[in-house]
Amino acid sequence: MLRILIVHNSYQQKGGEDSVVDNETALLKACGHQVELYLRHNNELHGLSKFSILKQAVWSKQTSRDLHVLLQQFKPDVIHVHNTLSVISPSLYWAAAKLNIPVVQTLHNFRLLCPQAMFLRKGKVCESCMGRSTWRSVIYRCYRSSASQSAVISGIIHFHRGLGTYKKNVSRYIALNTFCKDKFIEGGLPENKIRIKPNFVADVIPIAVARNGFLFVGRLSAEKGLRTLTDAFNYQLHGQLSVVGGGEDFELLRERAEIKSLGVLASNEINFEMQRSCALILPSIWYENMPMTLVEAFMNGLPVIASKIGALAELVEDGVTGLLFRAGDADDLSKKMKWAVDHPVLMLQMGMNARNKYLSSYCPEVNIKLLVDIYHEAISSMAVDGLPVGECYSSTAIQA
């Protein structure tokens, strides 16, 4: 059994990364591993000056101090990092390096390559910073439409690239699919350190009920493509559309009384909606890494109608586990939704295929083996490099 320290910086709004952390922590504990959590939250930034926020994001002394104590007390075999922005900071990688503790980093988004994290600008895919300087993001105000905040994120990326943080102090990276792995290699991460492990959800056996209507689940924001969906939807052609989630694009639903807005729901309520719908619509206009809603849909035997963009074109097998349409093309999406309405038997078969895909690729039993194998590989890599893991858990090993 392994001793695993999981590190995660929570965003101000709970999202898919937080769910992944919760799921993996519960799974590891259920399988007998000893797990400790180091969690911080971006709410800690409230009341701080801009200069203090900048210093914290580049190099958090508090993280170093916290780990000075935690690593010596818990003595982990491996550290698994999910997110470090903004309060944890990359200082944790150096704290781990001083004790020769291997670090595994899950790549939930493209932040190491793109300050905005989504390769998206003005509603279109943008790879201007791919494999090169990210200072263009300052000119374009990519992060939160702010030149100063874009400069901070870009500065963090360049500072730690210069230090070699991402290449030297991470033993293994976890990409969520082949598309994402290839993007990170193109962006300069070492290919030999990247492994593929998808997200997963615990199984809930679907109930046998009549399926009808379409479902959208996710944050109501521009990159999720809600405008494409609302432009595509026609009540007379498509029947029912239900939308789960909240966000700034909720305004798109205000004048569409025929669209059923369910607001933010608990996971069991989402499962219920998925088990009685005919298809999940994923109209994203950015390079989704691996949306948890897709995994949940497959678990519930629900086929997915998704944008043919990025990893979605890999995750959804057209005509087998769902349908693909041209990203941002409302007319094409409308046609695919009409086809789904006209072919209910084939959609049910796609749902069965989606369920089988979940059982073969996205269930806990498959995921735990992949995850623990990556941990062992990371630990072994330290020994190969001549670095005994956790050799010097001493009071002077880590300096704040």
Residue 358 carries which DSSP code? I
The per-residue pLDDT for 14 is 77
Instruction: Assign a CATH topology to domain 3-200+363-384.
Output: Rossmann fold (3.40.50)
**Which residues on neighbouring strands pair with residue 305, listed in sequence order?**
281, 323
Q: What is the pLDDT of residue 280?
A: 98
**Is there a contact between 137 and 68 (Cβ–Cβ < 8 Å)?**
no
* pLDDT at 42 (0 to 100): 87
Same topology between domain 3-200+363-384 and domain 214-362:
yes
At 358, the amino acid letter reads Y
By CB atoms closer than 10 A (0-12, 13-18, 19+), residue 395 is exposed
Residues 165/262, Cβ–Cβ less than 8 Å: no
DSSP run (H or E) holding 22: helix 16-30
Tell me what pLDDT residue 399 has. 37
Give me the pLDDT at residue 188, please.
94
Task: Give the integer Cα–Cα distance in Å for 223 and 238.
Answer: 23
- Tokens in use for 233? 């939807």
Name the nearest CA neighbour of 79 among 370, 362, 390, 366: 390
Structural domain boundaries in the chain: 3-200+363-384, 214-362
Long-range contacts, stretch 266-275, CB < 8 angstroms, 24+ apart: 267/296, 270/217, 270/244, 270/296, 271/204, 271/296, 271/300, 273/215, 273/217, 273/242, 273/244, 274/215, 274/217, 274/300, 274/302, 275/206, 275/207, 275/209, 275/211, 275/300, 275/301, 275/302
What dotted CATH number matches 214-362?
Answer: 3.40.50.2000
CB 390 within 8 A of CB 67: no
Pairing of β 172-175 and β 103-106: parallel
pLDDT value at position 384? 58
Q: What are phi and psi of 302, to 5 degrees?
A: -110, 120
Among residues 44, 33, 104, 105, which one has the least CA distance to residue 74? 33
**Which pLDDT value is given to residue 54?**
84
CA dihedral 190, 192, 198, 199 (to 10 degrees): -60
- The pLDDT value given to residue 386: 54
Write phi, then psi, for 8 (nearest 5 degrees). -150, 135
- Give pTM, 2 decimals: 0.92
How long a stretch of residues is the chain?
400
Helix (H), strand (E) at residue 82: strand 78-83
pLDDT tens-digit profile, the chain (400 residues)? 999 999 999 987 777 899 999 999 999 999 999 999 999 998 888 888 888 888 888 999 999 999 989 999 999 999 999 999 989 999 999 999 999 999 999 999 999 999 999 999 999 999 999 988 999 999 999 999 999 899 989 999 999 999 999 999 999 999 999 999 999 999 999 999 999 999 999 999 888 788 999 999 999 999 999 999 999 999 999 999 999 999 999 999 988 999 999 999 999 999 999 999 999 999 999 999 999 999 999 999 999 999 999 999 999 999 999 999 999 999 999 999 999 999 999 999 999 999 999 999 999 999 999 999 999 999 999 875 555 555 544 433 333 3
